[in-house]
Chain A
Amino acid sequence: MPELAAIWLTLKLSLVTTLVLLMIGLPFAWWLSNKTGTLRTVLETLTSLPLVMPPTVIGFYLLVILSPDTFLGGLWLDLTGDTLTFSFAGLVVASIIYSLPFMIQPLLNAFESVDPKLKEAAADLGASATEIFRYLILPLSKRGIITGGILTFAHTVGEFGIVLMVGGNIPGETRVISIALYEKVEILNYAEAHILSVALLTFSFLVLFITYSLNKMPLMRLR
């Protein structure tokens, strides 16, 4: 089996990205779901930008922002002795930004579909905002959280442009499946390109199939 390192790296990147995005996304989406007005619209627009922007544009900006000459890139270099660009850490940062809408939107939808009357009832019984989130919103949003997680994971597996811009093609560090595939095609190794493509296609189909099945399932069976 070719490119085992690339496959392993891709899975690692996707998992780390999904976990970090869950940790950031849950509180952020909860906070955002309680907001109204212009600030909310602006923030929702910003988090959704990666949906419509060419990955190369985001990748280019990230390359500039994360480079060792900047404050952020310099700080990272001082702390870890490694650059953010062309490294695994840089890929994680890039993936988080690129997959942001795939986590935030499902979470927002899920949080907002919880009946506000239930929140009132909980508050009426003396539950604090944190308790309402922990015991009411989170369990009732389980489906949205799972959907967000799956979509983020799958989207990270499939990213290409942004990875190429920020990470390049360093085996074991930034060489993910899509990059490896691109290289196979460049050197006209279609046989191995086919293998990788079929693998990615199957994976994507399965992920979406599971997501849609989950969403059609009655909530109770998820528990």
Chain B
Amino acid sequence: MLSAQIKCSRASFSIAANVDLQPGTLYGLIGPSGSGKTTFLQVLGGLVTADGDIKFKEQIWQNNSFIAPSQSRSTSTVFQENRLFPHMTVKENLLFATERSSDNASSVDMETVLENLEIDRLLENKPQKLSGGQIKRVSIARSILSNPDVLLLDEPTAELEDRLKSKILKFIGELTRINNMITILVSHHLPDIARYCAETMVISKNTISPPRPTQSIFAHGLTGFSEQIDFQEGSVLSVTVVDHQIDRGLTSLEVAGEVIVAPITDNLKKGEQTNIFVLARDVILASNQPQNISIRNCLSGQLVEINEHPDDFSSIVMVDLGGQILAAQITNSSLQDMGLQTGQTIFALIKTVSIEV
């Protein structure tokens, strides 16, 4: 377990945290720009000093009289900017990490990493020759190959195309579980957090909240948070891939016993399970099963909760789809016209193109 009670004050901002993080978990960290996300990661990595205590398992990383240098902490950071060593090839950059990796039993296999990050063809190149996305992928590989106990990812997917992003985040999620790592993912792209992070920490009012289940954060929204970043309510649904309809460009997914379709993806195999993120405002509600409409995805469920949105004239309606909760954002006037009540049966419609897989 990594426990951090820290406070870091700078001229422009201050950040405080009191969190306990568990191995084998991928954590999301979200907050407005300049709120201290990067600083928090660097404090954990030993690159920025802060007041307070940090303890990893039985090791003290810092207390009021001692600060362990970065070298002696089994952390590894994927920095926001390019920090590949410019005089070394990609391969030499990666070997620099493996040669200094912590000798855990759960060491990572170079081949697997190269394959998943799709960098096996770049090995002989110098960083100057790489594109922004390639630099990110090599940086992620280098951090993974240093075999850390704590992996800190600062906007790792910012320059990646969607297909690679999903593949890489999925890989990082698996590694986190298999190698029992503590991984923290900072991203501005909320669906990334929603889909891949089991728990999420939120920065608001200069404080990092203790991690909470990601699903509940996205379903219930964050009061006072939406003004600061582009936070939008949505729901995380666990789905299983039924099949790929290549000719129609669709992937069928099973959710709570019903089948929906999403834009086709080649990251997922048949039978594989994943999370999808559906924005609440992309969900349409109907009291009766609708006929003759273009929307392919119609799920029936039970209306379990209605929350008035604090900021505007809308409400978030929670629909129970056989155990999984889907949030829908509708205007208060629709709510009244339809006469929606908790406990009633309701049909939720999701546009195919709004589903990110």
**Residue of B46, B75, B83 most packed against chain A (CB within 10 A):** B83
Answer whether residue A139 sits at the interface, using C-beta atoms and an 8 A cutoff.
Answer: yes
B45 interface neighbour in A124, A131, A139, A219, Cβ under 8 Å:
A124
Q: Is the CB of A121 within 8 A of B101?
A: no
A136 within 8 A of B: yes
Please tell me which one of the listed residues A127, A139, A219, A223 contacts residue B71 in the complex, with CB atoms under 8 A apart: A127
Say if the beta carbon of B77 comes within 8 Å of chain A: yes
Chain A, Cβ-Cβ closest to B74: A126
B81 and A126 contacting across the interface, CB-CB below 8 Å:
no
Indicate if A117 sits at the interface (CB-CB under 8 A): yes
- Give the secondary structure class of A's interface: helix
> Are B83 and A128 interface neighbours, CB within 8 A?
no
Contacts of B47 in A (CB 8 A): 120, 123-124
Say if the beta carbon of B100 comes within 8 Å of chain A.
Answer: yes
B69 touches A123 (CB 8 A): yes
Residues in B whose Cβ lies below 8 Å from that of A139:
87
Residues A120 and B87 in contact, CB atoms below 8 Å apart: no
**A220 cross-chain contacts in B, Cβ below 8 A:** 126, 128
Type the 1/0 row for B34-47, where 1 means its CB is closer than 8 Å to any CB of A: 00000000000111
Query: Whole-angstrom distance from the CB of B196 to the nearest CB of chain A?
Result: 23
* Complex Cα gap A128–B71 (Å): 7
Contacts of A126 in B (CB 8 A): 71, 100-102, 146
Take A120-B47, A120-B70, A121-B79 as given contacts and tell me if A127 and B100 are in contact as well, using a CB distance cutoff of 8 Å. yes
Q: Is the CB of A121 within 8 A of B83?
A: yes
- Number of A residues near B (Cβ < 8 Å) is 19
Find out whether the CB atom of A123 lies under 8 angstroms from the CB atom of B71: yes
Between B46, B97, B102, B143, the greatest number of chain A beta carbons within 10 A of the residue's beta carbon is seen for: B97
User: Within the complex, what minimum Cβ distance (angstroms) separates B70 from chain A?
Assistant: 4
Q: Is B96 an interface residue (CB 8 A)?
A: yes
B290 interface contact, C-beta 8 A: no
- Counting CB contacts under 8 A, is A140 at the interface? yes
Q: How far is the CA of A140 from the CA of B88 in the complex (A)?
A: 10
User: Is A125's beta carbon under 8 Å from chain B?
Assistant: yes
- Asked if B100 and A125 make an inter-chain contact with CB atoms under 8 angstroms apart, the answer reads yes
Interface assignment of B240: CB less than 8 Å from any CB of chain A: no
Q: How far is the CA of A125 from the CA of B128 in the complex (A)?
A: 21
A residues in contact with B102, CB < 8 Å: 126
A122 within 8 A of B: yes
Query: Within the assembled complex, what's the spacing in Å between the Cα atoms of A122 and B100?
Result: 10
Residue of B nearest to A140 (CB): B87
Q: Which residues of the other chain, B, contact A20 by a CB distance below 8 angstroms? A: none
Residues of B within 8 A of A117 (CB): 79, 81, 83
- Is B76 located at the chain interface by the 8 A CB criterion? yes
Q: What is the predominant secondary structure among interface residues of chain B facing chain A? A: loop
B244 within 8 A of A: no
Residue of B nearest to A127 (CB): B100
| B146 nearest CB neighbor, chain A only | A125
Q: How far is the CA of A61 from the CA of B49 in the complex (A)?
A: 47
Q: Answer yes or no: A118 CB below 8 A from chain B CBs.
A: yes
A127 to B101, CA, bound (A): 10
List residues of B (48-80) whose CB comes within 8 Å of A's CBs: 69-71, 75-77, 79
Alpha-carbon distance between A135 and B86 when the two chains are bound, in angstroms: 12
> Which of A120, A127, A131, A219 makes the CB contact (< 8 A) with B83?
A120
- Nearest B residue to A132 by beta-carbon distance? B71
Instruction: Determine the chain B residues whose CB is within 8 A of the CB of A135 once the complex forms.
Output: 96
A131–B142 CA distance with the chains assembled, in angstroms: 17
Q: Is B75 a contact of A124 with CB atoms below 8 Å?
A: yes
Partner of B85 from the list A122, A128, A131, A219 (CB cut-off 8 Å) is: A122
> In whole Å, how far is B161's beta carbon from the nearest beta carbon of chain A?
25
Shortest CB distance B276–A (Å): 34
Q: Closest chain B residue to A123 by CB distance?
A: B70
Chain B contacts of A128 at CB under 8 A?
Answer: 71
Residues of B within 8 A of A219 (CB): 87
A118-B69 contact in complex given A125-B97, A125-B100, A126-B102, C-beta closer than 8 Å:
no
Least distance between A161 CB and chain B CB atoms (Å): 41
Give Cα distance in the complex from A47 to B146, angstroms.
41
Supplied contacts A118-B85, A124-B46, A220-B128, 15 more A-B pairs, CB within 8 Å: A118-B86, A120-B47, A121-B77, A121-B79, A123-B70, A124-B47, A124-B76, A125-B97, A125-B146, A126-B102, A127-B71, A136-B85, A139-B87, A140-B87, A223-B87
15 contacts between A and B (CB under 8 A): A117-B83, A121-B79, A121-B85, A123-B46, A123-B47, A124-B45, A126-B102, A126-B146, A127-B71, A127-B100, A128-B71, A139-B87, A219-B87, A220-B126, A220-B128
Instruction: Name the 9 nearest CB pairs between A and B, nearest first.
Output: A126-B100, A121-B83, A123-B70, A139-B87, A125-B146, A125-B97, A120-B47, A124-B77, A124-B70
